[in-house]
Amino acid sequence: KAGVTQTPRYLIKTRGQQVTLSCSPISGHRSVSWYQQTPGQGLQFLFEYFSETQRNKGNFPGRFSGRQFSNSRSEMNVSTLELGDSALYLCASSLPGSSEQYFGPGTRLTVT
Amino acid sequence: TQLLEQSPQFLSIQEGENLTVYCNSSSVFSSLQWYRQEPGEGPVLLVTVVTGGEVKKLKRLTFQFGDARKDSSLHITAAQPGDTGLYLCAGESSGGSYIPTFGRGTSLIVHP
């Protein structure tokens, strides 16, 4: 089975711009979660989508948003980028009823 | 907010040494996972423990879940350079959201 894929792998943006990241989960996994990872804060939960609905949300500002499509693929969007948004953004998929996360390789976002 | 404290934060050892890393919380978890993350990649699931007192072995890695399901340990025997990485523990609460809470990790370097 193919693993979780994320595109792009690397991204450089300027403050004030917006960015869209994409994630394709493992086939059969309908839950997709997004995390932000920084050296200072570790791995922080952004939100989770299941069957095209946001089911859980972390403590991030409204500039961070996401969506899920009918094929379970997911995108997350960050608007009005700030320097502090520089991080590794990880997508993970899981089976229903399981907390085991299967992560993609991440998108490294640098905001200058 | 449930917190998972991992210790030590950093560990630098020589090949062949043994080590133990810890994951502690004041909260009870219905399950706990351990992940290993290599630089530039997403975390990879190593094991899930569910029952208090449970011990699981994965080659040279031994995982233990505390009797009260509040803590866990990971012991590596005869560490090898390939064990280098960030070890993360993640606990699932009994609330039913299936979103795990991650610790900040133990960064392990094994020198040849």
B46-105: pLDDT as tens digits: 999 999 999 999 999 999 999 999 999 999 999 999 999 999 999 987 766 778 899 999
Contact list in B for residue A42 (CB cut-off 8 A) is 102-105
A54 touches chain B (CB under 8 A): no
Chain mean position to CA A31: 12
A4 touches chain B (CB under 8 A): yes
**pLDDT (tens digit, 9 = 90+) per residue, A25-37?**
999 999 999 999 9
A with B: how many residue pairs have Cβ under 8 Å apart? 55
Q: Are B25 and B65 in contact (CB under 8 A)?
A: no
Q: How confident is the model at residue A99 (pLDDT cuts 50, 70, 90)?
A: confident
Q: How confident is the model at residue B3 (pLDDT cuts 50, 70, 90)?
A: confident
Contact list in A for residue B31 (CB cut-off 8 A) is 99
CB neighbour class for B44 (10 Å; exposed up to 12, middle 13-18, buried from 19): middle
Q: How confident is the model at residue B2 (pLDDT cuts 50, 70, 90)?
A: low
